[in-house]
Amino acid sequence: VVDILIIIPSSIDKYTRHEVPPLGPLYIAATLKKYGYSVEIIDLCAQKISREEFIVLVSEKKPKIVAISSLINIHNNAIRIAKIIKNIFNDVPIIFGGAHASAIPNEVLKEEVVDIISLFESELTLVELADYYIRKTGNDLKDIKGIAYKNNGQVIFTDKRQRVSDLDTMPFPARELVDMKLYTEAGSIITGRGCIYKCKFCAANYLSEGTYRTRSIPNIIEEIRILIDEYDVKDIFILDDTFILDEGRIAEFCESIEKENFNITWSCTSRINPPPSSDILKIMKNAGCRKISFGVESGDNEVLKKVNKGTNVDQVREIIKMTHDIGIALTCFFIIGFPYDTRESIEKTIAFSKELRAIGSKEKPVYTTFSLFTPLPGTVFYNEMDKYKIKLLKDNWDYYNFNDPVIETEHLSKEMLRNYMLRTMSK
Ligand code: B12
């Protein structure tokens, strides 16, 4: 018997990501454990098990609460799983959480099998829900902040929950609950949460409500030490929305990494703006940074401006060259099919990606990765599809894999988008 069972569904694509441990759910699990609850996790992205095996597993665990992770491409499977669970234990409350459920709670609650949605940051919300359902102490549902639930067919939203102001007070992700050997990027960490920028295609600002909080450097170092000592990690993968924002903080991080003599390499993601200085890039290189992934998005200045990226092509070129010259490998992410994209702008984007790849060398390559523009719940483009003349072709979340077109725009048909995508894949 387990108090809370957390399930991460897989997508229907045969390539589901299992590189990275599910950090959000592992954070929630750690906090529940701290408050004395027993927690288990089934990560279907990583553990390949059949429907029958799954049913046996869940039946044996007899959970008192089931919490299911909902991201866009795994949401339909999350619903399928919820149905299987309700079939086994009709009385077990099913709580949904994660980016997709948080972005469109009203829609998700229309599903009969979803009882409650825990909105946005959920560590403390889940503790209060466990107190309510399991220990039968604490607040009534209506007084638990940050949830949406059904009452006599009506959706009730409780008061907003304040985000935890000091991230250092949070226990580290409960990695002991998953088989860390299943993840190729086992050294993944989050050193800060949230994004203050407002790109129209990205949900990060909405999900963090524009807040940005960071952990202290000693707290991060402690977690890295655990990854090295207990999980034999040799490469750290920093997954923050915005890592290089406060250069003083990054310098302090690098200094600590060097002082500890960890002998690890690491990589991170970054924005092109605010532009990282050459000084900080050198400090990062000396502290073992082997790769930075930048969101470049487009090779057309007009498109960059209109999607609110706040960068331009010259700036991108300069940062990519500088990072390469300092000796750090690169990945550049691109998106094609924005509502503003035309044949001309996409040609520019593809040409620009070639130009950036050519900056790379054998030892320090510049990789490029393309996704098709997809209106994500929680973004400006999703909320105002008519205004941006976005024509939805598929409203089945199973198909939202960022490689197949799910929309057409004023300028681009499905066939054109598919052909462009094929071109970027053949390079
Ligand atoms: C790191 C990251 C990844 C990593 C790691 C994902 C992982 N396994 O954890 C990788 C690169 C693998 C990845 C992949 C994808 N990602 Co991603 N990713 C992120 C990113 C940048 C940070 C997530 C994170 O770890 N944050 C820190 C933790 C602590 O916060 P959190 O995950 O939000 O979790 C908190 C709450 O959301 C909530 N919560 C989360 N899960 C659950 C589950 C339950 C049951 C409950 C109750 C609550 C809950 O509580 C958590 C703790 O407070 C976010 C952007 C963002 N700001 O959220 C995008 C983001 C979540 N990803 C997104 C997408 C679309 C994807 C992909 C579908 C992309 C693709 N091309 O395939 C895949 C799907 C992967 C999968 N099947 O799970 C979108 C989701 C949009 C949406 N509406 O669903 C986001 C918001 C990015 C964006 N720009 O819009 N991603």
Each residue's pLDDT tens digit, 25-40? 999 999 999 999 999 9
Q: Looking at the predicted structure, is the pLDDT value of residue 350 above 90?
A: yes
User: Counting atoms of ligand 1 from 1, which one is nearest the CA of 126?
Assistant: 47
Rounded CA gap, 165 and 48, in Å? 37
pTM exceeds cut of 0.85: yes
Closest CA to 338 of 380, 294, 310: 380
Which pair of structure tokens corresponds to residue 18? 């299992």
Question: Which contiguous run of DSSP H or E holds residue 49?
Answer: none
How far is CA 81 from each of CA 69, 88, 301, rounded to the nearest angstrom? Answer: 11, 11, 44
Mean pLDDT of 213-241: 97
CA of 23 to the centre of ligand 1 (A): 9
Share of residues in the chain with pLDDT > 70 (%):
99
pLDDT bracket for residue 427 (50, 70, 90): low
Mean pLDDT of 124-146: 96
Beta strand 147-151 with 154-157 is antiparallel
Q: Which of 17, 19, 43 maximizes ligand 1 atoms within 8 Å of its Cβ, making it the mutation to test the pocket?
A: 17
Q: What pLDDT, on the 0 to 100 scale, is given for residue 185?
A: 95
Q: Looking at the predicted structure, is the pLDDT value of residue 17 above 70?
A: no
Protein residues whose CB sits closer than 6 Å to any atom of ligand 1: 6, 11, 16-17, 19-20, 22-25, 27-28, 45, 67-69, 71-74, 95, 97-100, 103, 118, 120-123, 126, 190, 193, 202-204, 207-208, 239, 241, 376-378, 402
| Main-chain dihedrals φ then ψ at residue 235, nearest 5 degrees | -140, 130
Rounded CA gap, 52 and 41, in Å? 17
> Which letter does DSSP use for residue 167 in this model?
G
Tens-digit pLDDT profile for residues 283-300: 999 999 999 999 999 999
Q: Looking at the predicted structure, is the pLDDT value of residue 13 above 80?
A: no
Residue nearest atom 10 in ligand 1 by C-alpha distance: 20
Rounded CA gap, 334 and 293, in Å? 11
CA of 158 to the centre of ligand 1 (A): 23
CA of 123 to the centre of ligand 1 (A): 15
User: Counting atoms of ligand 1 from 1, which one is nearest the CA of 71?
Assistant: 84
